[in-house]
Amino acid sequence: MQYRKLNNQDGLSALGFGCMRFPKKGNGFNHEEIEREIKYAVENGVNYFDTAYLYPGNEEEFGRAVDKLGLRSKIFIATKMPHYFMKSVEDAEKRFKEQLTRLRTDHVDYYLMHMLPDVVSWHALCERGIDEWLEKKKADGLIKRIGFSFHGSSDMFIKLLHERKWDFAQIQYNYLDENTQAGAKGLKEAASLGVPVIIMEPLRGGRLVSGIPEKATQLIKESTGMSNAEFGLRWLWNQPEVTTVLSGMNSMAMVEENIRIASETEENSLTEDNMRTYEKVVEEIEKKVRVRCTGCGYCMPCPAGVDIPGCFKTYNTSYVENYASGIREYFMCAGMKNERALASQCRKCGKCEKHCPQGIQIRDELVKVKRRFENPIFKIGLFFAPGHIKKK
C-alpha cells in the first residue's frame, strides 16, 4: 500500500474502503464476506474506512464487523453528519451519540458535513452553533478531524474551503469529472491550502467500468493493457494532490484488485501517450452517454415509485450498447416489479432534483426516458408482465 506524502499528516492509505456498497445476502448484509474483506484490506495496508449516518444500516454493520475483528485501533473511521437535520446543537449531539453507538467506538477520526452544498448552508449551520460544537468535540477528543463532502462547482468548493480551517475535504473526482464538480481546480486549491483530499466516485459508481462504450473499452485495452477500473484509478493516483481514493468495494476480487493497483501506482507515472488515451476515451464516452447519473440513489425514494437511477442507467445503456439491451434492462428494472417504477409515473413534484449531487434535471430527463422506451409494444409487454398479472 502507498501512503501519500503531501498534506497527509495521519498517513492515510492511498486506497480507502467505501462501505456504502457492502455485499448483501438476502435482505441483509453478508456478514462473513464483509468481515473477510475488511480483514484482508487492513492486513494489506488499508486504514481509511468511510461510512455515513444516512447509509441504511451501514454504520451498525461496519461497527459490528470492526468490533468483532478487533481492528478499531488500526483504522481511521470516517463518517458523516446529516447536517440538513441539524436544527440545533441538541440535534447534533443526539445524532452524534447515535453514531458512536452504531459504530461501537468512543470517537470518530474523520467527521464530515455530508454533501455541504454551499456557503449559505454552512453559515446557517454556524448560526445554529454547529461549528463551535464541532470544535468542542475536537477539543474533547471525540472528533479528530473536521471536514465536508461536496458535489458542486469548483468555484463554490473553493469558497467553502476558505470558510474555516478544514482538516480535510471529500470530492467527486475522476477522469470524466476533471473539469466539472470541484474538478482539478478545486483539488489543487485544497492541496495548496494544506487540506488533504479524499476522492469519492472514482469510477462514477461503476459506470466507468461497465457503462462506457465498447469503443472506449477497446481503446483502453489496446493502448494501455489496463482494465477499465485500473484505467480510472491510475488516473487518480497519478496526481500527488490526491490523498485517498475511496472505492465502494463489494467483492473480494475488487478488494484485491484495488489494493494491487493502489500499491503499484506511483505519482506522476502516467506517460504522455497515456494522457492522450484519457482524452480520446472521454471523447468516446461524451459522444454516447446521455445522462451523467452516477447511481448514488440520493434522489430516492421517489414518492411516485420511479426507479430514477434505474431509468437513467438503462437509458444510457440504450445508447452506449444498443437499443435492445437498454429496453430489455428497462423492462426488467422498471416494468417487471410488483410495484412499477416507470419513468412515466413521475408526477413532477421536483423533490428528487433537490438531492441530486450531479444537478441533473431529473424531470426533463425522465420525459426523454419515457419517450425512448414506453412505446405501444412495451405497454403490451407490461400488460403480460408477472407483476401486473399477480395484481389482477
Smallest distance from ligand SF4 to CB 307, Å: 9
Smallest distance from ligand SF4 to CB 90, Å: 30
Q: Which residue in the set 360, 369, 372, 373 belongs to the binding site for ligand SF4 (CB under 6 A)? A: 360
Do the Cβ atoms of 187 and 173 come closer than 8 Å? yes
Separation between Cα atoms, residue 60 and residue 281, nearest integer Å: 40
Give residue for cell 400488460.
383
Binding of ligand SF4 by 350 (CB under 6 A): yes
**Among the listed residues 237, 249, 172, the one whose alpha carbon sits nearest the alpha carbon of residue 204:** 172
Q: Which part of the chain contacts ligand SF4 (CB under 6 A), choosing from 24-32, 96-104, 142-150, 360-368?
A: 360-368
Q: Which is nearer to ligand SF4, 359 or 386 (CB)?
A: 359
Q: Which residue in the set 112, 281, 306, 341 belongs to the binding site for ligand SF4 (CB under 6 A)? A: 306
Do the Cβ atoms of 197 and 243 come closer than 8 Å? yes
Binding of ligand SF4 by 25 (CB under 6 A): no
Give residue for cell 480520446.
280
Binding of ligand SF4 by 299 (CB under 6 A): yes
> Within positions 142 to 181, which residues make up the interface with ligand SF4, using CB under 6 A?
none
Smallest distance from ligand SF4 to CB 314, Å: 13
Binding of ligand SF4 by 298 (CB under 6 A): yes
Do the Cβ atoms of 58 and 20 come closer than 8 Å? yes
Binding of ligand SF4 by 358 (CB under 6 A): yes
Four-CA torsion 178, 162, 297, 50, nearest 10 degrees: 90
Q: Which part of the chain contacts ligand SF4 (CB under 6 A), choosing from 50-58, 81-89, 155-163, 308-316?
A: 308-316
Q: Which is nearer to ligand SF4, 167 or 177 (CB)?
A: 177
Q: Which is nearer to ligand SF4, 94 or 348 (CB)?
A: 348
Do the Cβ atoms of 107 and 70 come closer than 8 Å? no
> Within positions 265 to 294, which residues make up the interface with ligand SF4, using CB under 6 A?
293-294
| Residue 2 DSSP symbol | -
Q: Which part of the chain contacts ligand SF4 (CB under 6 A), choosing from 63-71, 96-104, 237-245, 307-315?
A: 307-315
Q: Are strands 28-29 and 24-25 parallel, antiparallel or unpaired?
A: antiparallel
Strand ranges, E, within the chain: 15-18, 24-25, 28-29, 48-50, 76-81, 108-113, 143-150, 168-172, 197-200, 244-247
First to last CA, the chain: 57
Q: Which residue in the set 130, 246, 308, 320 belongs to the binding site for ligand SF4 (CB under 6 A)? A: 308
Q: Are strands 76-81 and 168-172 parallel, antiparallel or unpaired?
A: unpaired
Q: Which is nearer to ligand SF4, 75 or 302 (CB)?
A: 302
Q: Are strands 244-247 and 197-200 parallel, antiparallel or unpaired?
A: parallel
Collapsing DSSP to helix, strand or coil, 40 comes out as helix
Q: Which residue in the set 23, 297, 381, 387 belongs to the binding site for ligand SF4 (CB under 6 A)? A: 297
Binding of ligand SF4 by 362 (CB under 6 A): yes
Q: Which part of the chain contacts ligand SF4 (CB under 6 A), choosing from 12-20, 171-179, 194-202, 345-353?
A: 345-353
Q: Which is nearer to ligand SF4, 145 or 292 (CB)?
A: 292
**Complete DSSP assignment for 72-98:** GGG-EEEEEE-GGG-SSHHHHHHHHHH
Positions in the binding site for ligand SF4 (CB under 6 A)? 293-299, 302-304, 306, 308-309, 312, 346-352, 355-356, 358, 360, 362-363, 366
